[in-house]
Structures are given as C-alpha cells and as structure tokens.
Structure 1
Amino acid sequence: MTDPEWPSIFDGHNDMLLQLAELPAHEAIRQFLDGRGDGHLDWPRMRRGRFGGGLFAVFVPPANDRSPLVPTGTGYDKALAPAMGAAEAMPRVMTMISRLLRIEAASEGRFRICRSVADIRAAESVGAVAAVLHFEGAEAIDTDFEALDVFHAAGLRSLGLVWSRSSAFGEGVPFRFPSGPDTGPGLTEAGFALVAACNRRRIAIDLSHLNEQGFWDVARTSDAPLIASHSNAHAICPHARNLTDDQLRAIARSNGIVGLNFANYFLRPDGGLGADTSIEVMLDHLDHMLSIMGPDHVGLGSDFDGVRAMPAPIRDVASLPALPQAMQARGYDAATIAAISRDNWLRVLEATWGG
C-alpha cells in the first residue's frame, strides 16, 4: 500500500464543536472553512489528512470544576466533576448544534450532516466531510425524553449516556490511574429508560465514560451493537477510562466497535502525558484489541480537540495518514487497515440505524 492508497478515515469522536463554541458564530465558521491557527480540526486539514467524516460531539464541560489531578504515589486521581442539570447544559448544547448547522449551510456542500450510512457514503462520493451529531453526555435530555425527540429530528444519531460525572441516567468513571472501571453504581431507572428510548429511535449508545456497572447494564438490556467511541485497552494502560478484556469481548459479541483514543494518558502504560509518546503504543493497543475482538470490531476515536497530549507523529488531523502507515509497517494487511480506518464504523452504524 503506497501513500495515495491510504483509506479515508471515519473517526468515532472529536470535540471540535466545543472549541468553536468559544468563538462568535461568524468567526467559528470562517476558521473551520478557511483554517484555524490552533487545535486539531478544520476543513483544509481534514482534506489533507483524508478525514472522510466522523462523530462530532456536543459536550458541556464543567463550569466550575477546578479539582486537580491528585498524585497518589502510584499514579493520580481526580474527583468526578459536579453533576449538571438540563437548564445549565441546554444553552451550550444549542450553541454547538447551531455551529454544526451553520457550518453545513456555509460550506457549499463541502460539509454535510448525515443521518444514515447512505448519507455518509453520498458525502464521501463528492469529497464532502460527513458529520454525525453525537452527544457526549445526556445532561440536556429530560427524563420524559421530549428533548430527545427534538434532538433526533435535528440529526442526533449517537448518544453517550454520561460523561465523567453523575447524572440522572448513571455515573461516569473518574480520571484515575491506575484503576479499574468498576467505580460506582450502574444505570438509574431513568438510565434504563433512556437506553430503551434510544433503541426505539435507533440512536447509537456510546459507552465511553460510563463505569463498568453501567456498561453491563447496557450490555444486557440494549438491542443495538455496543459502542465505545473513544476508549482503549485496560490491559495495556490501566486507566479507569479504558476497557477490560471482558468488556472488549462483550462488544465483539454484540457486533459492536471500540474506537482507539489518541490521548497519551489513555495510551501509555505509565498513564503519563509525556510528549515523547511513540506511535508504537497506539499499535500496541490495536494489537491487543484485535487479539481479543478480531478485525471487525476495532476502529478509531481520536478525541481530537478534546485532548492536547497525543503521540508526537499525530499533531492534528492532517497527520492522520501516519497511523495507517504505521499499521502497514507493523504488518497489518490492507483489508485490516481499511476496516480499522473506516469500514468497521460504517458497518456498525448501519446495523444500529438500519437501512
């Protein structure tokens, strides 16, 4: 496989909308379409990096969360962020959805919000970026799911039940190293109802950030493939955010997918942030997940614009071809590279959304 043959990449998670929400709307649109001076994602760099599309997250960060990483002797801990209600979350959520809609309107067809895999393929066929609206945390959704109906009509097709905090639906995992993901109680009654509501609407359920008890609650009640959009192998990096081998097996049995997270502290066996992180550790996680799950259940979930510290060869989206190049050097065949880069995501989303 030579460079011009690298597959287009479908990415399971980015936080670009969070970054653009900090700018006035007209400036956010201009910077996305013409190029930003910082961050990881914009349209010119997406094209250079063969970025075909992905899940674009709406995430509301804690307003007053100043709790630090606390050294523990063997690693670090950070308390769960404070809970957030719908009234607090809704204005930021609406701003980010608006950014997505306005970018599409201004893009002259170069950027398309997609509600089906047919939409994604159609965008790809004309060189447009295919954007799927995703929520990283369900704080803006009421327990009667009236808002869910509205968001679904606006294009919501993927939902993370929680971020790393408690909500009406369940509890996330803390940023803790070393730690297993079994850190708290499972889904609430409202959380089980939200799983059923997503199943009825064919909205994908994302298990990244959900603790282990919540994971197993979803696994035994959802009728959709299990998805962890941006998580890694706990056996390689024992961070609370990463997945145990039993969780990886359950995702594979469900015909689901795990997207490799590019953040150093979810990759490195020492949990560190060091700038000297090699791209090889990304391949170590891929090797492990492939050995447990097989080649049909592994994808990419970069966390671009959500984290800063990534392996040095992955500076931004324009440098994405470095990863399939490294896969090839590790001995992955062309079919496996294409499956991880794009094909597995499209298959799982089609199985979840239908037709």
Structure 2
Amino acid sequence: MDTFADPQVNINEKKPSIKFQQKTSVNKRIIIGVVIVAVLVVVIGVAIGVPLSRRGTSDANMNLALKVLRETPLIDGHNDLPWQMRQFTRNQVHKVNLRENTTMQWLHIKKEDMSEPKYPRIYPQTDIPRLKKGMVGAQFWAIFVDCGSQDKDAIRQSALDTTAATHTWINQYDDAFRLVTTSDGILEAFKANRIASLIGLEGGHMLGNTMGVLRTFYLLGCRYMTITHSCDTPWADSWKSDLKPSEYNSTNNITGLNEWGKKVIKEMNRLGMIVDLSHVSKQTMIDSIEASSAPVIFSHSSAFGYCNHYRNVQDDVLQMVKKNKGLVMVNFYNGYINCPPNKKENATLSQVAEHFDYIKNKIGVDYVGVGADYDGVPQMPVGLEDASTYPDLFAELARRGYKEEELKKIAGENFLRVFKDVENERDRLKGNPPFEDLYPVESLNLPCNTNF
C-alpha cells in the first residue's frame, strides 16, 4: 500500500484576515460544488458507459450473446484449475473455497503449504462466481504435471493425485458442477443448471509409455488426451521440436509420431477418447490426423497465420482439420494471440476475435470453438481477464456480423458434434481387440523404470 505523508504545518505562520477567510470559504464551496458535479458525471458515466465499454459493443449484440449462451452450453476446451490446486494447496482442495473469489485465496497461501512451484504464480482467473457470470456450460479441466516427472512419477502425480483431487472438488460443489463423460451428459448437466465438468489429460508424458495407463485414464473419466505437452516423448514430438532437434528423434530427423505413437491414436479411437493436438509439433499434427479415424481437436490453440507461434495451427493443417471434421478451440493467452505479423502493443479481446475470424474465413465456422486456457497462463488480453468475460467475446463476434446459429456452433454445437462422432467411432470399433503393443522401454535406458 502507498503511504502519503501529511503536509507540514508552520505554527509560526500568521493567521489570514477574516475577509480573506470568508473569500476562501466561498471559493471552497465553489470547488466542492464543482467536485460534486464531476463525481456525479463519473458515476453516471460508470453506470451507463462501463457496461457498454466492458461489453465492447451495443446492447443488441450483448443481448444476442446472452441469448446464445442461455440456450447453448458454452463448452471451453481447457482450464488449468487442477494445476492451481496442485501447485498451491498440494491437492488439499478443502483449503480453497471455490464459492468465493480465488484471487483473495491463491495469492495468500503460505509458502510452506504449497508444492514447489515450477512456474510463476498465476493471477487466479477461475471460481464458481466467475464461471457463472461467464455463463460457462461445460468445462474441460486439464490434468497436468510437469514434464520433469516424465519416466519418473508422472503417473502417480497425474492419475493417482491430481485426477483424484479433481473428482473430489467436482463432487464437493455438486450444486455447481457435475462430472460428465459423454456428449449427452453435457446437455443433461446444462438442463440441470450445472457446469458439465469433463477431464482432459494434458500430455502423453503421463502414460509411462504403456497402453494400459491410457486405458486406466479413460476409466478415471478422461475424455481427451493432449498427445504431448511442451516436451517430447519417446513416441511423439512436441511443438518445441519445430524450433530445435527432437529430444528423442533427432538422429533420424523424425518430428512426429513413431509407429507406437500411431497405435496410441488408434487405441484412443477405439476407447472413445478425443485426440487433442495442442502442444504438438506440426508433423505430429499431420501424423495424428492421418492416423485417426475420428475427428481431432486442438483444445487450446489459435491461428498461426495471424500469430506466428508454433503452438498455433498452420494453414495447411487447418485444411486437414476441416477434412477430418475436427475443431480448433481458440486460446486466449497473450503470447499465442498477439505476435508477428499482427503484434500490437497490448493484447485485446478484439485480437482474440480476429483469430475466430481467421479460422472461420479459412475453413468455415463449423471448425472453431473456445479453449481459453484460464489459470494456465499468466497474461490474458484486456477484456478477457478471467472466466467471467465470455459474454463479452460473443458480443464482439456478434458485432462483427456472426449470426445466432454461428455463435451457437462456436459456443458448443461444434464440440458436441465432434464428441458425438468420436463416440460413434468407438461404437463402430466395438469388439476390436485393444492395442497391447509394449513400448521397448529397455531401449531407452530409463533409470527409474524396471523392465516389464
């Protein structure tokens, strides 16, 4: 808090005359009157202007946005609240009250009560009041543990700790959340005025190179897996291999999936687990789409053509997504929406809308959705600071000419179509034997692994 010193008073200074005092008193009253008028102007301006400026558009556009979100579940592809829970409470979820603003809770947790954070503290962006204000209908909660746990204790940290803790707090607030594992379940939860809560596994490094663990995650409720996080696995390369040699495959210049990795994709199809290609290398994107018999998603990625970051989706891959009938769920993070060739001084809501425009113009409105990445990144654009702001985005899209049916597709209908197609492919493959291929872990010389 800033402190302001009181002005010093000179006790030897002569007192002013009575006439001067009267004149001063009149002047003071005039000044006070002017101040009062100014305050009233500001208050009226706030009452009228702030809602409009916050909406960034007219009442008609906001009304359309609210109508869409009342009638169609807003399905967000990625939120890292489980990571926040792990990092700042050691998965002791009852230490945080999600019915209250998490800003006043996360940032005041004592260091001794925290896990050792490997990332800077992220300004809290999610809690039940803000999700409700944002009119969120369904949310994928991302299960993530640091890449440093790969081939060590990633399975314990993710499956046995973080996933279990996520189940705990979803059930703890069962008047607000409902655990969901099917496309129909999303609509049922929405009708019951609950936020459909789905679980996604963010990174194949948590498989321990075994198909059995993949199947176990499905049994635990995970309905998508991000093939890599920002680290390579022995069987799939991340986006960072587009910038430097792959950690595992640099000798043979592979930057995508190896044969075992392609079987992971096929086993996900058989299970009915959605293939998520955020975080992966371009070649892994291509290999995965070609290997998958079901639609894929990018749970939290944006358009490379507008912002040249390799976490985003390039134009030729966008065309593959359209052919695959998949989905790109636009990420809000400053670093993925505000970079060359369209870098601005500050990232804004308008720039996020530009990514929707870009993807819509390239491949159509049927292949774009929302994947904000709240509580997973330190900086969000002006106007989209936390999970309460989704209506503002939809009002901005309405201002740009998006029709009601297009807004409903973006909000949730596109994802429901993808999820249903994945389930239909699972049903078609019913009766096929599982892929039980063993990865030759002995070839990797992993000190923390014993042989099968």
- Asked if 1:12 is matched to 2:97, the reply is no
- Asked if 1:85 is matched to 2:150, the reply is yes
- Asked if 1:340 is matched to 2:410, the reply is yes
Q: Which residue of 2 aligns with 1:73?
A: none
Match of 1:307 among 371, 377, 400: 377
Gaps of 5+ in 2: 1-60, 104-122, 244-252, 428-452
2:154 partner amino acid? A
Equivalent pairs: percent with the same residue?
25
> Does the 8 Å CA contact 2:93/2:169 hold for their aligned counterparts?
no
Q: Post-superposition shift, 1:244? A: 1.2
2-structure distance, mates of 1:140, 1:272: 35
Q: Post-superposition shift, 1:270? A: 3.0
> Does the 8 Å CA contact 1:143/1:190 hold for their aligned counterparts?
no
1:116 partner amino acid? T
2-structure distance, mates of 1:165, 1:285: 25
- Asked if 1:44 is matched to 2:151, the reply is no
1:59 partner amino acid? F
Q: Post-superposition shift, 1:91? A: 2.7
1:303/1:39 CA distance change after superposition, 3 Å = same
Query: Cα RMSD (Å) of the superposition?
Result: 2.2
> Does the 8 Å CA contact 1:275/1:311 hold for their aligned counterparts?
no
34-43 vs 133-142, greater mean Cα deviation: 34-43
Match of 2:211 among 132, 138, 145: 145
- Asked if 1:126 is matched to 2:188, the reply is no
2-structure distance, mates of 1:184, 1:320: 39
1:281/1:145 CA distance change after superposition, 3 Å = same
> Does the 8 Å CA contact 1:49/1:319 hold for their aligned counterparts?
yes
1-structure distance, mates of 2:421, 2:164: 28
Match of 2:274 among 198, 201, 204: 204
Q: Post-superposition shift, 1:316? A: 0.4
1-structure distance, mates of 2:223, 2:370: 18
Q: Which of 1 and 2 has greater Rg?
A: 2
Residues 328-350 of structure 1 show CA distances to partners (whole Å, capped at 9, x for unaligned) of 11111111111111111111111
Residues 200-237 of structure 1 show CA distances to partners (whole Å, capped at 9, x for unaligned) of 10110001111111111112111010211111111111
Q: Post-superposition shift, 1:191? A: 0.8
1-structure distance, mates of 2:318, 2:161: 35
2-structure distance, mates of 1:262, 1:105: 28
Residues 216-261 of structure 1 show CA distances to partners (whole Å, capped at 9, x for unaligned) of 1112111010211111111111111111111001101111100001
1:325/1:153 CA distance change after superposition, 3 Å = same
1:13 partner amino acid? H
2-structure distance, mates of 1:221, 1:175: 20
> Does the 8 Å CA contact 1:10/1:300 hold for their aligned counterparts?
yes
1-structure distance, mates of 2:212, 2:318: 33
SS in 2 for 1:350: helix
> Does the 8 Å CA contact 1:29/1:106 hold for their aligned counterparts?
no
Q: Which has the higher helix share?
A: 2
- Asked if 1:155 is matched to 2:221, the reply is yes
> Does the 8 Å CA contact 1:263/1:302 hold for their aligned counterparts?
yes
Q: Which residue of 2 aligns with 1:71?
A: none
> Does the 8 Å CA contact 2:327/2:414 hold for their aligned counterparts?
yes
Residues 76-121 of structure 1 show CA distances to partners (whole Å, capped at 9, x for unaligned) of xxxxxxxx52432123203211121101221234211211011111
Q: Which residue of 1 aligns with 2:145?
A: 60
Q: Which residue of 2 aligns with 1:75?
A: none
2-structure distance, mates of 1:330, 1:117: 30
Match of 1:276 among 330, 341, 346: 346
- TM alignment of 1:175-194, pairs within 5 A: 185-194=255-264
2:211 partner amino acid? F
1-structure distance, mates of 2:241, 2:388: 28
Give TM-score scaled by structure 1 length.
Answer: 0.87
- Asked if 1:166 is matched to 2:232, the reply is yes
1-structure distance, mates of 2:141, 2:222: 10
SS in 2 for 1:313: coil
Give TM-score scaled by structure 2 length.
Answer: 0.69
> Does the 8 Å CA contact 2:368/2:410 hold for their aligned counterparts?
yes
> Does the 8 Å CA contact 1:161/1:170 hold for their aligned counterparts?
yes
Residues 166-217 of structure 1 show CA distances to partners (whole Å, capped at 9, x for unaligned) of 112211012989xxxxx96111222112111111101100011111111111
